[in-house]
Structure formats: structure tokens, C-alpha cells
Amino acid sequence: MNGAEVTTLPSGLRVATRSMPHARSLSVGLWVLAGARDECDNETGIAHMLEHMAFKGTKSRSARDIATEVENAGGYMNAHTSREETAYYLRLLPEYLDMGIDILSDILTNPTMPDDEIERERGVIIQEIGQSQGRFNNRRSGLGFFPKQRLRLRVLYNFSKAQVSASKDPKSVPRDAVGPQTVGPRAHRQTQNRRRETL
């Protein structure tokens, strides 16, 4: 990232910021450097499912609380899963940076993953699989380009509730596998100190 400041905390967590003083909003995210290629054969699709479930409530916030808190601040929250990474991110006004970091930290380290939500999100992902059919980018891994590698497998995949329940807790990801980034009109030290407190 051009012009970025990067600090590695004692926990191994890396904090990366890029100051844009002229910006009126900022983006803040947590990048987990693990994705579909890191799954075992009996876990295919779990990384994407865990991404979906992160928004379904934590020990201190319900799914509604998460959505309301972000929307009341005029923010936007989303996530994505690829073969290489899973990312959770927000766009919001600079004065809500601490809130944004707190929410991202909470959904990553304290998800509750209610059983009813697991089944509901399974249905959502099945729909996403259907919508992705025929797109070359989503089919090419099955064309034999990587026959002996995890890269040959799809990010989107169907699975059972038991597989999700038995999957690893997202907070078990090693600290050095988490790469947070902030872009906007906030100082590097402010972001670094807040992340030190919450993660």
C-alpha cells in the first residue's frame, strides 16, 4: 500500500494505515490471511460460512444490534472470502473509528453462531452457488488448472450444520494471520492503540 504505515504489535497483529487528510470518511477492516485454500477436505466451504455467521450476533451484540449500530452511524459493513483471505470491513465517518474497530473485533473474536442462523445462511449460500453457475471465474478451479492443490476447490460450497458446528472458532486463527488496515483521515497511532486494546 503506497504511503502506508505498518506496525506489528507484540501479539503479532499487524496494523496498517494510510492517511488521507482530505478524505471525509474512512475505511477500516480486518484481513484474516486464511481462506478457502486453508480448509481441509472435510471443511470445504467453511471459511465462507464463518464469514456469513460473523454478522449473526456476538456475546454482547445481536445481529440486529450490529446492523443498527453501523447504520445509525451512517456506515456500511460488508465482508468477502477468497481462496487466500477473509476480510471484514466498514466505511464510516472518522469520528466513529473506535466504534468500527470495536464491532469488527467483536464479530471476529466473540461470534455466537446460533443454530437457526446456520441453517438460514446455508440456504443463502446455496442460492449464491446457483447464481455463480456459468461464471468462468467461479468454474475455472474445476477445469484442472490446479489438480493437486487446494486452489482447485471452490470458495462457495454446500455443507451440513454439523460441519459448521464442528469447525474451528474464528478466534483460533493465529494473531500473525490477521492484517488490519485503515484508510482515511486518522493518525496511525490512534488506530494502533485502539487495536491493541480490542484484539
| Full domain range(s) for residue 121 | 5-198
Average pLDDT, the chain: 76
> Rounded distance, CA 19 to CA 32, Å?
22
What pLDDT is recorded for position 170? 46
Give the domain CATH number at 37.
Answer: 3.30.830.10
The torsion defined by the Cα of 88, 90, 96 and 101, in degrees rounded to 10, comes to 10
Residue type, 102: D
- For the annotated catalytic residues, the residue numbers are 51
What pLDDT is recorded for position 177? 44
Task: Give the count of beta carbons closer than 10 Å to the beta carbon of residue 198.
Answer: 15
pLDDT band at residue 61 under the 50/70/90 scheme: very high
Mean pLDDT, rounded, for 87-107: 93
Higher pLDDT, 158 or 63: 63
Highest average pLDDT, of 55-59, 120-124, 167-171, comes from 55-59
Q: Output the nine-digit C-alpha cell for 2.
A: 503506497
Cβ neighbours of residue 175 under 8 Å, at least 6 residues apart? 11, 12, 13, 199
Q: What percent of the chain has pLDDT over 90?
A: 29
Angle at 161 between CA 158 and CA 165, to 5 degrees: 120
- The tally of domains found in the chain comes to 1
Higher pLDDT, 125 or 61: 61
Q: Is the pLDDT assigned to residue 167 strictly greater than 60?
A: no
